[in-house]
A = this chain, B = another copy of it.
Amino acid sequence: MPTMRDVADHAGVSIATVSFVVNNTKPVTAATRSRIEASMKALGYRPNAVARALASRRTRILALAYPMLDHRLGGSGMEFMIAAARTASTYGYHLMMWPGANDGRELTELVGQQLVDGVILMEVQLDDPRVAALKATATPYALIGRTADPSDSLHVDIDFEQSTSGAVQHLHDLGHRHIVFVTGTQDRESYYNYGPYVRTERAFRDVTARLGVAPVIIESGQDTTAGRDLAHRLFTECPDTTAVLVLNEFAAIGLLTGVIHRGVRVPEDVSIMSMLTSDEMATYTQPSLTIMRSPGTALGELAVHQLVQRMTKGTVPDPVLLPSTLVPAESTAPPPAIPYGRR
């Protein structure tokens, strides 16, 4: 691997001059510049990222910290990651995955290594020790989600109020008056005070109050199996239900398939709407789910934009809440049944 030294010798200039053209950081005669460029090409020179980082005190690496909770990332979590990595690379940054515990200690370690210029925190909790840790180290960061403290700046998040009221309003417009809201079970340490649960539930109470319908709220686990169980619970506990709003996409899929499997028709008998969901998940069922689509990709891009702006311009962009989009289930003309009965 040729170094800058080699290039300088080859071009008959000083190492400093090479640096100037590589970084375009000082004026250089067109003649010498092209001579240097020729040498770089001839030698196949590539600047050494590590040396550059040490000297310039910037690594051009961003960390994406996602807590290793017991649950898997949903579809939009994945969208988020991919979008963030792609966006980072357009800025000339690399994205490092950082699967850490949910406490601040490990994060402090990571940041102390000075390997990353900034950190993106996914799945921020209302009371998140990682945010405090990050603040203490003065590392630039961006939050996906919000803490309870409104002064924790630079976050992007889903607009839960908009999502929830949009969903409820839609169902209400369709004539539904008995709407059940299914939120996540909060008995676990990590989910207690989980922002999306708290904010969505609050929004649900608000909008139902506004519309003058009773807020029925039940808890459920966050996977398809739990959702399947709901299919039973729902009709015993809340027999009047005509529409269900499910906070978790996995649970929503379980509920929908479970309900259909029991001979209940969707949406004729009951409407099901899945919140915080990606397009992809909606297609897994038939009929497809009606969803409030999470802006996963947009969040990923935005988070990186914001963070980079903070690091380079030094300004702290305003928090942004992105709306969810209502995506109705594709209307399924009932297909011709296939007479089928061999074996």
Contact = CB atoms under 8 A, between A and B. Distances in A.
Contacts of A260: 286
A115 B263 contact: no
Interface residues of A, number: 71
Given A86-B99, A96-B95, A99-B85, A112 B1 contact: yes
A257 B284 contact: yes
Contacts of A343: 175, 242, 268-269
A276 to B, nearest CB: 17
A47 interface: yes
Contacts of A97: 64, 81, 85, 94-97
A336 B113 CA distance: 59
Given A49-B113, A61-B96, A262-B338, A72 B286 contact: no
A50 B72 CA distance: 32
A89 B63 CA distance: 14
Contacts of A286: 228, 257-258, 260-261
A99 B335 CA distance: 40
A340 B241 CA distance: 11
A46 interface: yes
Nearest to A114: B48
Contact of A224 (B89, B224, B283): B283
A21 interface: no
Among A96, A268, A286, find the residue whose CB has the most chain B CB atoms closer than 10 A: A286
B50 A59 contact: yes
A19 interface: no
Interface string A49-61: 1110110000101
A307 to B, nearest CB: 16
Given A235-B338, A340-B269, A114 B284 contact: no
A285 interface: yes
Interface of A: 1, 44, 46-51, 53-54, 59, 61, 64, 68, 72-73, 78, 81-82, 85-86, 89, 94-99, 109, 112-115, 175, 223-225, 228, 232, 235, 240, 242, 253-254, 257-258, 260-265, 268-270, 280, 283-287, 332, 334-338, 340-343
17 contacts: A1-B114, A46-B109, A48-B113, A61-B96, A68-B82, A81-B97, A86-B99, A175-B343, A224-B284, A225-B283, A257-B284, A260-B286, A262-B338, A268-B343, A269-B340, A269-B341, A284-B284
